[in-house]
Amino acid sequence: LAAKEHMISGAPLTRLEALVLFGVSNLPELVYEMRQQGMMMKSRKVSYAAAMVRINKHANLTPPPNLPIREIMLTEYWVAS
């Protein structure tokens, strides 16, 4: 419910953030359900680094030193206003 409310507020959410911050293991399923409920969902690609910056405002996420965080892309979703 918290992840859904987060996206309804217009804030973006990646699968990584959904898992770490809200305990949602399958974000695409939640997005699918929200679309079925008639919500207009938007998406775009962002880097792992961008998602990590947002996560680190609320939790402490430290990736392995050899992980190419600027090259790994994640999809973020939000509800269009």
What is the amino acid identity at position 77?
A: Y
Per-residue pLDDT of the chain (81 residues; tens, 9 = 90+): 899 999 999 999 999 999 999 999 999 999 999 999 999 999 999 999 999 999 999 999 999 999 999 999 999 999 997
Helix-, strand-, coil-residue percentages of the chain, each rounded to 5: 40, 20, 40
Full-model pTM: 0.88
